[in-house]
Amino acid sequence: MATKKIEVTDLRIAYGAHEALKGASFDVYANEVLAIIGPAQSGKTSLLKALNRTLEFTAGAKAFGTVKLDGEDVSQIKNVSELRRRIGMVAPLPVGLPMTIYDNVAFAPRMAGMRGKEQLDELVEHCLRHAALWEEVKDRMDMLGTKLSGGQQQRLTIARALSHNPEVLCLDEFSIAIDPVTTMRIEEVLKELRSQLTIIMVTNLTQQAHRLADRTMFLWAGEIIELDRTDVIFSDKCANRKTYEYVNGIFG
Residue 108 binned pLDDT confidence (cut-offs 50, 70, 90) = confident
- Percent of residues, the chain, with pLDDT higher than 70: 98
pLDDT at 64 over 80: yes
pLDDT at 252 over 70: no
pLDDT score at 218: 98
Q: How far is CA 13 from CA 65, 68, 114, 178, 195, in A?
A: 9, 16, 37, 30, 31
Q: Hey, how many other C-beta atoms are within 10 angstroms of the C-beta on 244?
A: 18
- In tens, the pLDDT along 208-230 reads 999 999 999 999 999 999 999 99
Residue 93 binned pLDDT confidence (cut-offs 50, 70, 90) = confident
Contact 222, 20 (CB under 8 A): yes
Domains observed in the chain: 4-94+168-247 (3.40.50.300)
List Cβ neighbours of 130 (8 Å cut-off, separation of 6 or more).
Answer: 158, 159, 162, 189, 192, 193
> Taking the chain, what is the end-to-end CA distance rounded to the nearest angstrom?
35
**What own/partner pairs with CB < 8 Å and gap ≥ 24 does 55-59 have?**
55/13, 56/80, 58/15
Rounded Cα distance between 118 and 100, Å, is 18
Residue 189 binned pLDDT confidence (cut-offs 50, 70, 90) = confident
pLDDT at 4 over 70: yes
